Structure 1
């Protein structure tokens, strides 16, 4: 195997943290074996399937360790027990890399539930890195195929993503974001008859973003992300307002060096807000 790519294992692990080829729309519509996915990733990262399996295993172990630690906190265990998820329900997360993150909030939730003895076969992460609201609308057939009873939807960060050097063009206007969110909300609640929880995008750490993307033909602006978060609030009243509650200054330790992706600590912060919201606004008598 020859490749121009030279990567270290930590760099490969970082890529795998946000990349699950099994969720790519074409490969969900035309599935291949798990070994084929490992081979694909190995080819992409100039590595071997064995190394890919080992790195994925280390990510799973890190998530399991973090969830185990979370479960030592009695209020967190009680919050989990109070979630409005009935036995046998299918709970699906939809979003971008913040949700797709193998160390992220939804993976922590799924692992926490599994560690408490819940059957999590119906707890499915459909997050895909880079997704906009338009991308999720395009792959609605895959969400329908997942047969959700409850959908947790966090989008908007990539709608605010700007491309170009001399001219910066956003991936979506606020009007387009609002239209796409309204369509997704209607499709999920009316076509699928599923419960829907919408989460605003988190803020970005502008200082880190500016430094990290200084030489790149793409950028995020805190004001644009705030504008998108406002559209989410306006379009879906009662959304989890992560943007307003998550501090984004450089001292918090909640954001990675790129200023866009949450650190593991940031992901735990997100999980806490989502769990608290679900427990508060959606009571149920038939909980896990």
Structure 2
């Protein structure tokens, strides 16, 4: 007897847009190692969202349009425009971002950076986003072959939020201990600098808003604890003393507008804040 098939869930366009904001099947390791066409990626997303390819394309286009509009507005600020022009990227460089959903975000800091450089007419460096929602430091180690294949000259690495992610209702089990996170980060820095002979900029995970996170994830066996994320941020700065310390910057008073209702993901304003910190760091270096 055949098992009953699950009924497809009905999604609103806002829910679909939110999913697409953080999901790019083109970065999934299996589908990078065994590539499929862009149309098949769109069909896959449409199937997942009980939608049509046309709707998926329109929603993705709306996210790109929003990113472009934000970059245009940011470039109207003299300080930001000059900082982008002063970035240490040379023609032919390959700048690769590696991270989780905070960097995979289609409205996120790396997409804003790539769009800003394109609009400003800066150096023709290639900017490649290899970030995947949910990734831990161990996940990135597992797919190091894909990072190597991108041939980076510089890697921008922001990881750790999902190392601190905890699972369970009665118990609480982190994806990685602080020791495991440190070991993985040291391995990644070593692999990037020695195996790939590339420069690396390490970035701490942003802070978490405990009140928002507790409320948002109250019905699922999934938790983020602000103290765990702070511990990971300390591990990052210990492992890479020159890291961009977003955690400290976003923990400052008056930064409540920088995180979404889940208390974990940055708002568009939060992504702008992250980008401004990273750009100023790269410019100063």
Is the CA contact (8 Å cut-off) linking 1:181 and 1:235 kept in structure 2?
A: yes
Deviations along 1:46-78, whole A, 9 cap, x unmatched?
000000000000000000000000010000010
Structure 1 position 232, deviation (Å): 0.5
Tell me the residue number matched to 2:113.
109
Tell me if 1:246 matches 2:250: yes
Q: How many residues align?
A: 280
Tell me if 1:35 matches 2:39: yes
- Listed as ranges, the matches of 1:94-173 within 5 Å are 94-118=98-122, 122-173=126-177
Structure 1 position 247, deviation (Å): 3.1
With the length of structure 1 as denominator, give the TM-score of the two structures. 0.95
Tell me the residue number matched to 2:52.
48
Looking at structure 1, the residues matched to 255 and 245 of structure 2 have their Cα atoms a distance apart, in angstroms, of: 21
Is the CA contact (8 Å cut-off) linking 1:205 and 1:249 kept in structure 2?
A: no
Is the CA contact (8 Å cut-off) linking 2:88 and 2:282 kept in structure 1?
A: yes
In structure 2, the CA distance between the partners of 1:249 and 1:162, relative to structure 1 (3 Å rule), is farther
Tell me if 1:84 matches 2:64: no
Is the CA contact (8 Å cut-off) linking 1:254 and 1:266 kept in structure 2?
A: yes
In structure 2, the CA distance between the partners of 1:232 and 1:45, relative to structure 1 (3 Å rule), is same
Is the CA contact (8 Å cut-off) linking 1:207 and 1:250 kept in structure 2?
A: no
Q: Could you say what the CA RMSD is over the residues aligned between the two structures, in angstroms?
A: 1.3
Deviations along 1:228-251, whole A, 9 cap, x unmatched?
000001111110011011137686
Is the CA contact (8 Å cut-off) linking 1:110 and 1:120 kept in structure 2?
A: no
- Listed as ranges, the matches of 1:254-265 within 5 Å are 254-265=258-269
In structure 2, the CA distance between the partners of 1:102 and 1:76, relative to structure 1 (3 Å rule), is same
Structure 1 position 3, deviation (Å): 4.5
Structure with the larger RCO, 1 or 2 (CA within 8 Å, 6+ apart)? 1
Aligned partner of 1:72 among 62, 76, 80:
76
Looking at structure 1, the residues matched to 279 and 120 of structure 2 have their Cα atoms a distance apart, in angstroms, of: 15
Secondary structure at 1:124's aligned position in 2?
A: strand
Structure 1 unaligned blocks of 5 or more: 282-288
- Listed as ranges, the matches of 1:203-218 within 5 Å are 203-218=207-222
Deviations along 1:66-91, whole A, 9 cap, x unmatched?
00000100000100011111111000
Deviations along 1:178-210, whole A, 9 cap, x unmatched?
000000000000000000000000000111001
Deviations along 1:111-150, whole A, 9 cap, x unmatched?
0001112466710001100000000000000000000000
Structure 1 position 219, deviation (Å): 0.2
